[in-house]
């Protein structure tokens, strides 16, 4: 399904931020419309037309980067958990109960929003 076909189905605004997108060629600018796969095939999703939307190139890229950061953070957390379990076996210490086990870090929503849409620079007049 093409960008134009999705545009006729879903309109001119980004699926994620709701702001208007640029449909001019080439589609390499941050505000350009790109096809967003809601269920990423690299994470086990099936690429179907019903899972496609339009988003800004920058929103699409940021979403993918945040997903990668989350996956890397989760992998680090699992590695630490496995290491803790191995140390507990070696030293005959009981494992920490799940409720006291350190939880993975949480990224505040404000930080995510700021990364996706930074505040515009302030223009000062020369008076």
Q: How far apart are CA 71 and CA 85, in angstroms?
A: 21
In a domain, 99, yes or no: no
In a domain, 35, yes or no: yes
Give the model's confidence band at 27: pLDDT under 50 very low, under 70 low, under 90 confident, else very high.
confident
Mean pLDDT, rounded, for 97-126: 56
pLDDT digits (tens, 9 = 90+) for 29-75: 999 999 988 877 665 556 667 788 999 999 999 998 998 999 999 99
In a domain, 115, yes or no: no
Q: What is the CATH number of the domain that holds 52?
A: 3.40.1800
Packing angle of the helix pair 57-90, 109-116 (nearest 10 deg): 140
Q: Is 59 exposed, middle or buried (0-12, 13-18, 19+ CB in 10 A)?
A: buried
pTM of the model: 0.62
In a domain, 120, yes or no: no
Give the count of domains, the chain. Answer: 1
In which domain, by residue range, is 62 found? 3-92
Residue 13 clears pLDDT 80, i.e. is over it? yes
In a domain, 80, yes or no: yes
The CA-atom distances, in angstroms, between 52 and each of 1, 13, 48, 49, 62 are 8, 14, 7, 5, 17
In a domain, 63, yes or no: yes
In a domain, 127, yes or no: no
In a domain, 70, yes or no: yes
Mean pLDDT, rounded, for 91-115: 61
């Amino acid at each position: 399904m093409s960008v134009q076909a999705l545009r006729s189905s879903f309109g001119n605004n980004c699926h994620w931020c709701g702001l208007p997108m640029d449909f001019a060629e080439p589609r390499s600018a941050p505000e350009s419309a790109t096809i967003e796969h809601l269920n990423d095939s690299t994470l086990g999703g099936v690429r179907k037309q019903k899972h496609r939307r339009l988003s800004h190139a920058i929103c699409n890229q940021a979403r993918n980067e945040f997903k990668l950061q989350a996956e890397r953070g989760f992998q680090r957390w699992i590695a630490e958990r496995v290491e803790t379990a191995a140390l507990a076996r070696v030293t005959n210490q009981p494992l920490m109960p799940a409720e006291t086990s350190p939880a993975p870090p949480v990224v505040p929503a404000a930080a995510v929003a700021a990364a996706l849409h930074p505040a515009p620079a302030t223009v000062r007049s020369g008076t």
